[in-house]
Amino acid sequence: MAGPELTAATAVTDGSGPAVPPSPAPRLVVVFLIALIIVLPCLTRGGPFGFALVPDRWVTVGVLGATYAIMALGLVVVTGWSGQFILGYSGFFAIGAYTYGLLNSLVSERHWGAPLSIPIAIGLSVAVALVLGLATARVRGDYFALITLAFGEMVRISITNLRDLTGGSAGLLAIDPLTLGSGGAAPAITSAVGRYTTGWLAVGVLAAWLALVRRTPLGRAWVAVREDEEAARAVGIDTARAKLVALAVAAAVAGLAGCLFAASQLSLVPSTFSMLSSFIVVTSLVVGGMGSIRGAVLGTVLLLAIPELIRDLAGGGAGLLDYQMLIYGLAMLAVILLRPGGLASEAPQGFRRTAEVVPDPEPTRGATLRLRGLQARYGGVVAVAGLDLEVPAGQLVGVIGPNGSGKTTLLNVVSGFHPPAAGTLELDGVVVNRWPPERRVRAGVARTFQMNRLFPGISNAENVLPACDTVDAPPGLRDLVGAWGGAGRRDVRAHARAIACLGEFPSRFPAWRWTQLPTSLSYANRRRLETARALGARPRLLLLDEPTAGMNPVDRRELLRTVRRWADGGTTVIVVEHQLGALAEVADRLIALDHGTVIADGPPREVLASPQVVSALMSMEPGLERASAR
Amino acid sequence: MSELLTELLVNALTLGSLYVLVALGYVLVYSVLRIFHLVHGDVVVLGGMLGIGVLHLLGVGGPRGAPAWLALGVATLVAGVAGAVVSWGIEVGVYRRIRTRSRLTPLLAALGLSLVLENLLLLATSKDPIPFPVAAIPQGYVEIAGVRFLHVSMVIVGAAILLLGGVAAFIRGTRLGTAMLAVAQDAEAALLIGVPVRRVTAAGFLMAGALAGAAGVLFGMYIGSLTWFIGSGFGIRGFSAALIGGLSSIVGAGLGGYVLAVGEIFGVGLRLGPFQLDPSWRDAIAFLLVVVVLIFRPEGLLGGRAYTWQVRN
């Protein structure tokens, strides 16, 4: 059955060169930004040197810059990381600003003070985000972007039209500056330099916090969701929840930005919160680099500074303001066309702690699987027609059959990606018919896909890590407090296991490959990476869909022997495989499917000898088998 | 009351016809490239402003000017050609270069293009609205059963029907149109069976742009003036209509345009007992419609998973 045997002389073809260099001098960008931000106010008239090298106007611009930088950081989370494109982000900004304004203004006759009203504003913004996120849970991708655009505009129109509350287009005036307590007489930050310092301190704290969160399971889950939502579910991530949390975090950040904006401008008009302001934030993200914290800040600084610089150099004149948006548009296009990753994109992340190898606490206890009368359909086509099957713990089962016999559908139903039309599916005696994929992963069911579904835009290390997180540190709200949530200890374990999983394929994933993107791997190594990822979830039932596709016979045998080792370690394994000879060598049992029913089931030798199986498989054209393996 | 109803209906029909022309552009572009062409509204304004320029050049309303109907025809033609060329240029110059990137990229590029185009329009014209030559706006009305049908409304609706019919006939009656359907279904498969995908994509953009340019002149006629920044408003209405109807369906775009216009005009024009919305809520109604439709029918009213361009019986 197997093709002509190649000898060990077959070269291992790994189409990859040396590691991709990270974006130029990333540290330098950060140092430059921090230095610029600290030095700028010192050089104005009010600074310690007492001379005006820089006009005071720059401090005011800097205050605005801090607000926009905060917004950009929020957008990094929701768009850059979790991949949800928001076009109406200024809606949350407006909610925060107007909440602060209405709670702290002579007009509304309320002076609740910043310590009280900022949490209220943030809470309100988050509440709106949760409602929006839950309502649009079914809406994906660019459609979601357009809904948020509508949302942002609806917020602005509502503010304009609710004149009695907000002052309408005439604006909300006489807002208190950032007060440190409630009541009209509380001390407040009134000077421009004071606002500047507060604003940029907030940016710094926020940036540091988000950098921490990015390195938690939650941060990794966001990026996984962005890269491939289905694959993210397959490694146990509750994608809907992850997306909602990202949206809520972004809304909270925008709410804070709104408060600082209101407290520094001291008056608000609805037109500030038009689509254009959302676009400016998006532009700064594009220019700086979509998922990059330093890129977001750099982008904001550049976008605000360049028009001001032009104005200074051209000797003033309001007419130049007309060019501002034109410059933004051109900058955005130039970056998109010429430097796709932005000016300061983040390098792919590898593993941080490599010294410790934490052994798994106990050996794997394989899961038992029982199917009773299982049916699955695609529309009117019955792909699996009443399957009764029992797989005891620790067995390695090979599933064979011609194309269209229901092999992949079977795996899809067991892993929760396709709903059964009838019958029951029991895992360790518990009916799991209605469990979503991510819940099944946490119960120990991990899978690979027939067509590679890696996370293409993140490092090989970060491809495996989210699966490892699922086991003892599933992403959750506690990750928002970073290392204090106990992430450190759990993180070490996840990293160690990820390294161990890659180590199952000796010499395929040396350390220099950890920071590379999967796109630089050969096809066979991508298959291996996906298998390693499934292994990362510490499966008790491992479902492999043609794991050896694209491999030569030597590599195929090697991989199947590795799978055998996992089964010997206690894991229950179901493998779909077309190379019957190689499969028969390792499998405890073969199940042959045809037209969605079992036509033979038993020891490999017997199944392969069964006349029904032979005729079902022989009805395939010779050569088709190899084609289907691709 | 019924007179008010009919009058609102006529108004909605007129506005809806304009929306449909823009929405159809989104559908055409989405079908060939699967992107939201958010600059489309600015192409509409570009066409409209060029049209106004042509009308002035032809001296409409002047002592020796061309007759209004001829001038309007020429202006629409010029606007259509300009819209087509600009849209095609955008496809070749920008979208084609970023085809292989993530789905967000074209959306971002479209935003950038929109900023550029709007501000170029601002630089080329003025901050103030550009008036549409009054002499070129058909005056008068026909009264049927007590309802006034303004000539200008009839011209707009007629032109929209003509253009829509043209597009539908092109798509169903020509080889290139059939090829567009194939690309809409699956661009890669179409390429494999020898469909010249690049040419088809260009055709999609040319048609969308031509419709946009022509719609610009009609919009100018309807509103009476055009302003540089008004394009994003047109664009949003256009894709709102397309989203409501379903991005994969020409008929859907038509339905979406009229649903949107009816919703907007009746939303603020009708009095329910003592309750009447202020006209300033009109935009919010439009957005609310989109959000509600997308939440309950993410594929739009007529959009299915497959591309359903034909009218289903």
Write out pLDDT tens, residues B265-313: 888 887 776 777 777 888 888 888 988 888 888 888 887 544 433 333 2
Q: Is B284 on the interface with A (CB under 8 A)?
A: yes
Tokens of A126: 């988050």
Comparing CA positions, the residue from A268, A253, A245 lying closest to residue A175 is: A268
**Highest mean pLDDT: which range of A234-248, A378-392, B137-151:** A234-248
CB A161 within 8 A of CB B280: yes
Q: Which residues of A touch B305 (CB under 8 A)?
A: none
* Domain boundaries of chain A, sorted by first residue: 26-338, 369-628
pTM: predicted TM-score of the whole model, two decimal places = 0.89
Per-domain boundaries in chain B: 2-296
Q: d(Cα A397, Cα A604) in Å, to the nearest integer?
A: 9
Paired residues of B141 in beta bridges = B150
pLDDT at A25 over 80: no
Q: Span B2-296: which CATH code?
A: 1.10.3470
Find out whether B265 and B259 touch, Cβ atoms under 8 Å: no
List residues of A whose CB lies inside 8 A of any B CB. 79, 83, 85, 135-136, 138-143, 145-147, 149-151, 153-154, 157-158, 160-161, 275, 279, 282-283, 286, 290, 322-323, 325-326, 328-333, 336-337, 340, 457
Nearest to B110 by CA among B209, B197, B235, B3: B235
Distance of alpha carbon A71 from alpha carbon A203, whole angstroms: 9
Q: What is the pLDDT of residue A475?
A: 87
Q: Verify whether the Cβ–Cβ distance B294 to A275 is below 8 Å.
A: no
Selecting from 1.10.3860, 1.10.730, 1.10.10, 1.10.3470, what CATH number does the domain A26-338 have? 1.10.3470
Mean pLDDT computed over A230-256: 95
Tokens standing for A464?
């495996």
ipTM above 0.85, yes or no: yes
Q: What is the pLDDT of residues A586-627, one digit of tens each?
A: 999 999 999 889 999 999 999 999 888 888 887 654 444 444
pLDDT tens string A495-531: 888 888 998 898 899 888 988 999 999 999 999 999 9
The answer to whether residues B265 and B15 touch, using CB atoms and an 8 Å cutoff, is: yes
Phi-psi region of B194 (alpha: psi -120 to 50; beta: other; left: phi over 0): left
Q: Does domain A369-628 have CATH number 3.40.50.300?
A: yes
- Chain B positions in Cβ-Cβ contact with residue A332 (cut-off 8 Å): 108-109, 111-112, 115
Q: Which whole-number Å values give the CA distances from A429 to A365, A370, A371, A410, in the listed order?
A: 14, 8, 10, 18
Between CA B209 and CA A560 the distance in angstroms is 56
Q: Which of residues 211-240 of B touch A (CB under 8 A)?
A: 232, 236, 239-240
Reading the block at residue A580, the tokens are 């019957």
Measured between beta carbons, the chain B residues lying within 8 angstroms of A336 are 94, 98, 105, 108-109, 112
The answer to whether residue B295 neighbours chain A at the CB level (below 8 Å) is yes
Partners of residue B236 in chain A, C-beta under 8 Å:
149, 153
**The token pair that represents A411 in the structure block:** 């795996």
Per the listing, tokens 């010294």 go with A355
Residue A320's pLDDT band, with cuts at 50, 70 and 90, is low
Comparing CA positions, the residue from A230, A306, A294 lying closest to residue A33 is: A294
Which residues of chain B are within 8 Å of residue A136 when distances are taken between CB atoms?
294-295
DSSP, collapsed to helix, strand or coil, labels residue A204 as helix
Task: Please report where in the chains the tokens 């709106």 appear, as a residue.
Answer: A128
pLDDT at A11: 29
CA distance linking residue A410 with residue A417, whole number of Å = 10
Strands A430-431 and A597-602, how do they pair? unpaired
CA-nearest of B135, B198, B150, B176 to B17 is B150
C-alpha B242/C-alpha B264 separation (Å) is: 15
Q: Among A155-159, A239-243, A466-470, B300-304, where is mean pLDDT lowest?
A: B300-304
**Helices B175-185/B197-223 angle, 10° precision:** 100
- In chain B, the N- to C-terminal Cα span, in Å, equals 36
